[in-house]
Amino acid sequence: MTIEATAGPSTLPDTATGPVIHPWWVRVTHWINALAMLLMIGSGWQIYDAAPLFGFEFPRQIALGNWLGGALLWHFAAMWLLVINGLVYVALGILTGRFRRKLFPIRPREVLYDLLAALRGKLSHDDLSMYNAVQKLLYLGILLTGVVIVLSGLSIWKPVQFHTLTSFFGGYNTARYVHFAAMTAIVTFLVVHVTLAILVPKSLRAMIVGR
Amino acid sequence: MPRQRKPMPGVDPKLLIKDAAKLLPEPSRRLFLRGAASLGALAVLSGCDIIDGDTSENALRVISTFNDRVQAFLFNPNTLAPEYPESMITRPFPFNAYYSEDEAPDVDADKYRLEIGGRVDNKQPWTLPELYKLPEVSQITRHVCVEGWSAIGSWQGVKLSEFLKLIGADLSAKYVWFQCAEGYSNTIDMPTALHPQTQLTLKFDHQILQRAYGFPIKIRIPTKLGFKNPKYVTAMWVQNNDGGGYWENQGYNWFSGL
């Protein structure tokens, strides 16, 4: 991106007129989700510190909300952003057929092949509109993790009103561990996702301007 | 206290943003500049306060009030908190407060009176022997702390709904407010006060409440977070205005339903 772009807009005819890789609603919901996730994770770390599940705490400098009460205010405000935006994204993903076209089918043999190619640094990124098999698997996986983190969160928030859901997650205490594990999965995904976006900058541009 | 963030010396934020924008194609460059200018101005003016300060907490409390209404809507007066077998009681059941155990109120049983006030027909104060004579109910439920931890306990006492009827309380009033010996207080909504498991608790595990567990009266509400279960209760008022509470006033969510 930088090499092309510093030369000026005149050298970018292909990107200006090329096919749209990410329609506007994908880009908008992607960045709203990015913000909501950061707010939920940051405040969630502060909440975790009030009663740690494991033998460590998150440093206050990277946690959001100053104190437990402030973090809870953030967490239960950002949840609306996360859930409403997530519902819009999933609804449009299903209705427009984007999920079906982009994420399926996922064949185990292709996943293995693409994973090995990626590790050898030989995975092609010529056509960003097509996801490779590893991407398909990870994007589907992170979608499902999103569902798990919301449902386990609801079962911690409302263990009486939603007690059936809470017992589905193994009860109140176990649901806290599930919620934590889902957060860990999302943070791990985030690290890989951002690293790869930096390694392939045109994929970042596509998520901003669409092409 | 507002904290000011100083811009980096020798770096003009406007030029920095202009440089960054050169890397973008023309239409997005204009958009980026417009967005960055306002974002940058915000960041320089207020530093971290936007994210971490009292300003944001005040704004977030508006959403917290909205969440109170959502929770009141989700609250089903017939949904019971799960009950557990005796074998699952957490032993020892933890003491928890914003002060240490030896600073807990030491209430004189003989001099104690439960004061009654507000929209109530019979405002006669209650002595402990009078309260101990009332019909007893029992529950083994999970106490969930706002911090995240939980513990299962066994509580006995009078159904609060029965007690409210007994004193001729106006059950159409909006709130019940509790005052505690150490100055702690809580206000709860009437639907929660009338919930079948909401209890004017006199005993823990069939023994008169220990000092650590709130002697002489705790209000046990298994449909609310722990801090909404006041201990060392000395007065109870039925009223239409929200009397607030110790933690609620500092920013914990008011309804805090489970």
pLDDT per residue as tens digits for the range B61-108: 999 999 999 999 999 999 999 999 999 999 999 998 889 888 999 999
Query: What is the mean pLDDT of the segment spanning B99-125?
Result: 94
Let me know whether B164 and B42 are in one domain: no
Rounded Cα distance between B210 and B198, Å, is 20
| Whether the predicted model's global pTM rises above the 0.90 cut | no
Which among A9, A72, A158 is the nearest to B26, CB-wise?
A: A9
pLDDT score of A31 more than 70: yes
CB contact under 8 A, A51 and B147: yes
In a domain, B1, yes or no: no
Share of chain A above pLDDT 70, in %: 92
Rounded Cα distance between A153 and A80, Å, is 12
* Cβ-contact A66, B50 below 8 angstroms: no
Cβ-Cβ contacts under 8 Å, B24 against chain A = 5
Let me know whether B157 and B43 are in one domain: no
pLDDT tens digit sequence for B214-233: 999 999 999 999 999 999 99
Rounded Cα distance between B81 and B197, Å, is 8
- Which own/partner contact pairs does B159-165 have at CB distance under 8 Å and 24+ positions apart? B159/B135, B159/B196, B159/B198, B159/B199, B159/B200, B160/B193, B160/B194, B160/B198, B160/B199, B160/B200, B160/B219, B161/B193, B161/B194, B161/B195, B161/B196, B161/B198, B162/B134, B162/B135, B163/B134, B163/B200, B164/B193, B164/B194, B164/B238
CB contact under 8 A, B144 and A172: yes
Cβ-Cβ contacts under 8 Å, A167 against chain B = 82
CB contact under 8 A, B57 and A72: no
- Please tell me the distance in Å from B110's CA to the nearest CA on chain A: 38
Tell me, what's the pLDDT at A128? Answer: 84
Let me know whether B91 and B177 are in one domain: yes
- Please tell me the distance in Å from A173's CA to the nearest CA on chain B: 8
Which range is least confidently modeled, A77-81, A98-102, A177-181? A98-102
pLDDT score of A38 more than 80: yes
pLDDT score of A79 more than 90: yes
Tell me, what's the pLDDT at B36? Answer: 45
Q: Quick one: angle between helices A24-50 and A201-209, nearest 10?
A: 110
CB contact under 8 A, A160 and B82: yes
Let me know whether B127 and B26 are in one domain: no
Let me know whether B81 and B172 are in one domain: yes
Cβ-Cβ contacts under 8 Å, A160 against chain B = 79-82, 222-223, 257-258
Instruction: Categorize the per-residue pLDDT at B57 as very low, low, confident or very high, splitting at 50, 70 and 90.
Output: confident
CB contact under 8 A, A209 and B82: no
Tell me, what's the pLDDT at B52? Answer: 62
Which among A16, A73, A176 is the nearest to B251, CB-wise?
A: A73
Q: What is the maximum span of chain B, computed from C-alpha positions, in angstroms?
A: 82
CB contact under 8 A, B253 and A77: no
Tell me, what's the pLDDT at B13? Answer: 47
Tell me, what's the pLDDT at B49? Answer: 52
Site of tokens 């009141």? B72
Cβ-Cβ contacts under 8 Å, B253 against chain A = 72-73, 76
Give the CA distances from residue B181 to residues B116, B178, B188, B216, in Å, rounded to whole numbers and listed in that order: 14, 10, 18, 10
In a domain, B92, yes or no: yes
Q: Which of B51, B70, B227 to mutate to test the interface with A (most CBs of A within 10 A)?
A: B51
pLDDT score of A40 more than 50: yes
Q: Which of B147, B229, B252, B253 to mutate to test the interface with A (most CBs of A within 10 A)?
A: B147
Tell me, what's the pLDDT at B121? Answer: 96
pLDDT score of B11 more than 50: no
Nearest C-alpha neighbor of B220 from the set B103, B93, B86: B93
In a domain, B6, yes or no: no
Mean of all residue pLDDT scores within chain B? 85
- Please tell me the distance in Å from A112's CA to the nearest CA on chain B: 36
Size of interface A-B (CB pairs under 8 A): 93
Rounded Cα distance between A16 and B28, Å, is 11
**Phi, psi values for residue B72, rounded to 5°:** -65, -35
In a domain, B8, yes or no: no
Let me know whether B136 and B148 are in one domain: yes
Cβ-Cβ contacts under 8 Å, B23 against chain A = 1-2, 5-6
Give the number of domains in chain B. Answer: 2
Q: For the sheet with B115-118, list strands across it.
A: B115-118, B233-239, B175-180, B185-189
pLDDT score of B60 more than 50: yes
Containing structural domain, residue B28: 13-52
Let me know whether B127 and B19 are in one domain: no
pLDDT score of B45 more than 50: no
* Minimum Cα–Cα distance from B80: chain A residue: A160
CB contact under 8 A, A77 and B146: no
pLDDT score of A6 more than 70: no
Cβ-Cβ contacts under 8 Å, A159 against chain B = 82, 142, 144, 258
Let me know whether B39 and B108 are in one domain: no
Let me know whether B24 and B73 are in one domain: no
pLDDT tens digit sequence for A151-186: 999 999 999 999 999 999 999 999 999 999 999 999
Tell me, what's the pLDDT at A124? Answer: 80
Let me know whether B35 and B82 are in one domain: no
In a domain, B154, yes or no: yes
- Please tell me the distance in Å from A19's CA to the nearest CA on chain B: 16
Nearest C-alpha neighbor of B179 from the set B228, B230, B220: B230
Neighbours of B104 (CB within 10 A): 20
In a domain, B221, yes or no: yes
A94 class by beta-carbon count within 10 Å (0-12 exposed, 13-18 middle, 19+ buried): exposed
Query: What is the mean pLDDT of the segment spanning B149-172?
Result: 97
Let me know whether B20 and B129 are in one domain: no
Query: Among the three residues B37, B52, B67, which one is the final residue of a domain in this structure?
Result: B52
**Complex-level ipTM:** 0.85
Let me know whether B211 and B85 are in one domain: yes
Nearest C-alpha neighbor of B190 from the set B79, B68, B77: B77
